[in-house]
């Protein structure tokens, strides 16, 4: 099957070559009992914003489950900040910040309590934890919400809390699985901008979505369709002037 792979499948195509890759996926496949969800996916990305674009059912969530070590697969290799996820999962996970699609906050606890819990899971406690939490909340403009119960927050602020939480242990790579689901337009834009800022500051961001308006022209983009990675590169190089949305729909066959 390798000879059929397009030339673009070489991992060095994506990412600015000057920076070493911080997230590398190599020949990863995954099948549920009968259905193939991921078919020989390879890419490697470095600091900056990378969108993982694909229609529903393309395999985005499966890829995320593999990247977060909730699943493992015998085929292929995943490396996070230089740590092999299957051989040294703990070192790899320590370098990974994750925002799950489904909210994982405790609604009856305050923002501060939610973050303190997470910090402790990553071995950060006491004064260090308090400082890191304050910094992370500050970064997401959430500092004044620390004492509020999550239940009292709106969807956008809940998401920001989750992003702040994912930054507490100072990860190299930040994964977000459709983080804007269920948010209104303003909150969606704010979250998208916040995460782009993080990427501009040097973090490796992988943002899964099926919404093209969350992706900027200068972002890198991986297009996943039916379990295969069908295209990747800088958005403006891929689209060559056409709107990303049209390009994406044509590519995935939703539009003739």
> Would you tell me which residues interact with another protein (CB under 8 A)?
32, 37, 61-62, 65, 68-72, 74, 89-91, 93-94, 96, 98, 100, 102-104, 106, 108-109, 113, 116-118, 120-123, 125
CB of residue 80 to another protein, shortest distance in Å: 11
CB of residue 146 to another protein, shortest distance in Å: 16
In eight-state DSSP terms, residue 240 is T
Say if residues 232 and 8 touch (Cβ distance below 8 Å). Answer: yes
Taking the C-alpha atoms of residue 85 and residue 68, their distance in angstroms, rounded to an integer, is 9
CB of residue 15 to another protein, shortest distance in Å: 24
CB of residue 180 to another protein, shortest distance in Å: 17
Nearer to another protein, 96 or 215 (CB): 96
Structure tokens at 21: 């890759």
Nearer to another protein, 11 or 91 (CB): 91
Q: Which of 154, 156, 164, 158 is nearest to 132 (CA)?
A: 164
Q: Hey, what long-range contacts does 154-158 have (CB within 8 A, 24 or more apart)?
A: 154/187, 155/182, 155/183, 155/184, 155/187, 156/183, 156/184, 156/186, 156/187, 156/188, 156/190, 156/191, 158/103, 158/105
CB of residue 107 to another protein, shortest distance in Å: 9
- Angle separating helix axes 111-121 and 155-167, nearest 10 degrees: 30
CB of residue 98 to another protein, shortest distance in Å: 6
Nearer to another protein, 121 or 193 (CB): 121
């Amino acid at each position: 099957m390798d000879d059929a792979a397009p030339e673009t499948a070489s991992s060095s195509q994506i990412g600015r070559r000057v920076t070493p890759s911080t997230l590398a996926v190599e020949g990863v496949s995954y099948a549920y009992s009968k259905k193939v969800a991921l078919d020989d996916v390879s890419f490697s990305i470095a600091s900056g914003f990378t969108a993982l674009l694909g229609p529903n059912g393309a395999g985005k969530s499966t890829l995320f489950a593999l990247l977060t070590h909730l699943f493992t697969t015998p085929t292929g290799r995943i490396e996070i900040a230089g740590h092999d996820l299957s051989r040294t999962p703990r070192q790899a996970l320590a370098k990974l910040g994750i925002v799950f699609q489904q909210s994982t906050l405790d609604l009856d606890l305050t923002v501060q309590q939610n973050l303190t819990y997470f910090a402790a899971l990553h071995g950060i406690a006491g004064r260090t934890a308090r400082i890191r939490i304050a910094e992370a909340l500050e970064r997401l403009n959430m500092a004044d919400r620390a004492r509020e119960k999550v239940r009292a927050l709106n969807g956008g602020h809940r998401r920001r809390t989750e992003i702040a939480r994912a930054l507490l242990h100072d990860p190299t790579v930040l994964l977000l699985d459709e983080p804007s689901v269920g948010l209104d337009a303003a909150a969606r834009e704010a979250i998208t901008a916040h995460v782009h800022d993080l990427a501009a500051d040097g973090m490796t961001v992988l943002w899964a979505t099926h919404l093209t308006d969350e992706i900027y022209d200068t972002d890198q983009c991986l297009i996943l369709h039916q379990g295969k990675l069908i295209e990747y590169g800088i958005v403006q190089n891929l689209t060559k002037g056409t709107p990303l949305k049209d390009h994406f729909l044509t590519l995935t066959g939703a539009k003739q």
